[in-house]
């Protein structure tokens, strides 16, 4: 079984939470399609734990290194990938106050979306209520006296 992570990244813009949506590169045949999704990746031998994987994947895909909080969320996804491998993917909420620095070749665009916009836009395998509940969990991760630097 492949161990994977999914990271939903949030930051405050003004007084509202915004969530990062990455637009897939539609010319990349591995991902197949034109859609918005979140940071994902596989746990590698060099990672000490899944939080290391989350940090590494976020840095590789967005250049974001200033992570204020990481929490494992209440949902784990299990599925068979395009190569026929069974995957277990733990979902993490991540808080940052940093803008995206770069995108890797897998992505062509990004958007910071409000809760409602994110739920409508993101490609999610499951009911939309599921992703909406995860955003509530992530919102609770912000410190009471949050400051956007």
Q: How confident is the model at residue 145 (pLDDT cuts 50, 70, 90)?
A: low
For residue 42, the cross-strand partners are 4
What DSSP line would sit under 66-81, residue for residue? -EEEEEEEEEEEEEE-
- Report the predicted TM-score, pTM, of the whole model to 2 decimal places: 0.93
Can you list the domains of the chain with their CATH numbers? Answer: 2-139 (3.90.79.10)
Kindly list the distances between the CA atom of residue 111 and the CA atoms of 1, 9, 87, in Å, as whole numbers in the listed order.
32, 11, 27
Note the pLDDT tens digit of each residue in 63-108: 999 999 999 999 999 999 878 999 999 999 999 999 999 999 889 9
> What confidence tens digit (pLDDT) does each residue in 107-143 have?
999 999 999 999 999 999 899 999 999 999 999 999 7
Across the chain, mean pLDDT equals 92
Dihedral of CA atoms 33, 120, 107, 61 in degrees, nearest 10, equals -130
């Amino acid at each position: 079984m492949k161990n994977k992570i999914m990271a939903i990244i949030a930051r405050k813009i003004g007084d509202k939470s915004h969530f990062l949506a990455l637009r897939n590169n539609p010319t990349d045949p591995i991902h197949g399609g034109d859609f918005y999704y979140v940071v994902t990746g596989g746990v590698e031998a060099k990672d000490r734990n899944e939080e290391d994987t989350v940090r590494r994947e976020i840095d590789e895909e967005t250049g974001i290194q200033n992570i204020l909080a990481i929490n494992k969320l209440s949902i784990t996804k299990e599925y068979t990938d395009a190569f026929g491998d069974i995957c277990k993917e733990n979902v993490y909420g991540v808080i940052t106050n940093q803008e995206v620095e770069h995108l890797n070749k897998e992505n062509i665009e990004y958007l910071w979306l409000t809760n409602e916009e994110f739920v409508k836009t993101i490609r999610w395998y499951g009911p939309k209520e599921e992703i909406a509940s995860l955003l509530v969990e992530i919102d609770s991760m912000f410190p009471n006296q949050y400051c956007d630097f």
